Amino acid sequence: MDRLEREAAIEAWSRPPVAGVNLSPLVPLGLTDPMFKTWLHRTRRAHWAQPRAAHIRKLLPVDGPTKRILDYGCGFGMDALEYIEAGHEVSIADINPLNLAVARRAVNVIKPGALDQMYVSSLEEHDSYGFFHFSVVSMNGVLHHVKDAHLLLGNLAGYANGIWAMVYTDQAWRDVTKSEPPEYPEKHPQFQQFVSAMDENGHWATFYTKESLTGITPKGWRVSSWAPVEPDGWFAVATFEPKHET
């Protein structure tokens, strides 16, 4: 991603609806502390009350022993708060520094000082996370908005024992365009129709199947699970993990 494309992505993802809450990050950042706290609690309730989000919430990797989790593309921190409340060690990353500021402020309402690290991402293979190694990298709604998703996965695999990702599916393509999913969505005449329906900011979007995700999986890794998200199957949750020699 070159500089101009990255700037376009930041601009698009700074416009509402960020994180599905129909707000620019400047709005919550401008609230007083009491108003921000009220806004946060209402926003969380409304966000997880949506049927798709409620199902995704059940699929978040929160179970088991304490994990070190990187919430990549954290938006306003809705998932990060779930991980922190479940007792995990959480870091966040986002292409937009203002989103990081909202997420940090939200975490400090729920559990002050609980954030481990914050990273401004570039969505490229060169992002560095220092000496940190994560149990899980969580990406809720990121891969389907990234043109070079294979490079992003390859980089993150170097810092993680597993990757959890929510992506758009071929069922979304069928329902939106009333056509069969093409092998190369960008070349299809209805691609822009799909983008307009699935990315409210009109930046970029694609869809995946388990098979197409396998095609961009880092060397030595595999797609270990694929779970469609109710109620319409427009989304699916995939997990990636290293292959184990037998």
Q: What is the DSSP string of 140-162?
A: ES-GGG-TTHHHHHHHHHTTBS-
For the cut 60, the answer to whether the pLDDT of residue 163 exceeds it is: yes
Ramachandran bin of 65, using left for φ above 0, alpha for ψ from -120 to 50, beta for the remaining angles: beta
Give me the mean pLDDT over the 194-215 stretch.
89
> Between vectors from CA 118 to CA 112 and to CA 122, what angle results, nearest 5°?
155
For the cut 80, the answer to whether the pLDDT of residue 201 exceeds it is: no
Q: Compare 1 and 82 and report the one with higher pLDDT.
A: 82
Give me the mean pLDDT over the 52-72 stretch.
93
β-pair type (235-242, 163-168)? antiparallel
Predicted local confidence at residue 25, as pLDDT = 85
Strand partners, 139: 165
Give me the mean pLDDT over the 94-98 stretch.
89
Give me the mean pLDDT over the 114-131 stretch.
81
Q: Using an 8 Å Cβ cutoff, are 83 and 109 in contact? A: no
Q: Could you give phi then psi for residue 71, rounded to 5 degrees?
A: -85, 100
Predicted local confidence at residue 137, as pLDDT = 97
Predicted local confidence at residue 119, as pLDDT = 93
Q: Using an 8 Å Cβ cutoff, are 209 and 200 in contact? A: no
Q: Could you give phi then psi for residue 42, rounded to 5 degrees?
A: -65, -40
Length of the chain: 246
Residue 139 to residue 147: CA distance in whole angstroms: 15
Domain boundaries along the sequence of the chain: 3-242
Residue 140 to residue 144: CA distance in whole angstroms: 10
Q: Give the CA distances from residue 163 to residues 45, 48, 100, 157, 199, in Å, rounded to whole numbers and listed in that order.
A: 26, 22, 20, 7, 23
For the cut 90, the answer to whether the pLDDT of residue 21 exceeds it is: no
HSE toward the beta carbon, residue 150, CA cutoff 13 A: 8
Predicted local confidence at residue 139, as pLDDT = 96
Q: Using an 8 Å Cβ cutoff, are 133 and 125 in contact? A: no
CATH dotted code for 3-242: 3.40.50.150
Predicted local confidence at residue 125, as pLDDT = 59
**What is the reported pTM?**
0.92
Predicted local confidence at residue 123, as pLDDT = 66
For the cut 80, the answer to whether the pLDDT of residue 6 exceeds it is: no
Where residue 33 falls among pLDDT bands split at 50, 70, 90?
very high
Q: Compare 13 and 226 and report the one with higher pLDDT.
A: 226
Predicted local confidence at residue 15, as pLDDT = 64
Average pLDDT, the chain: 90
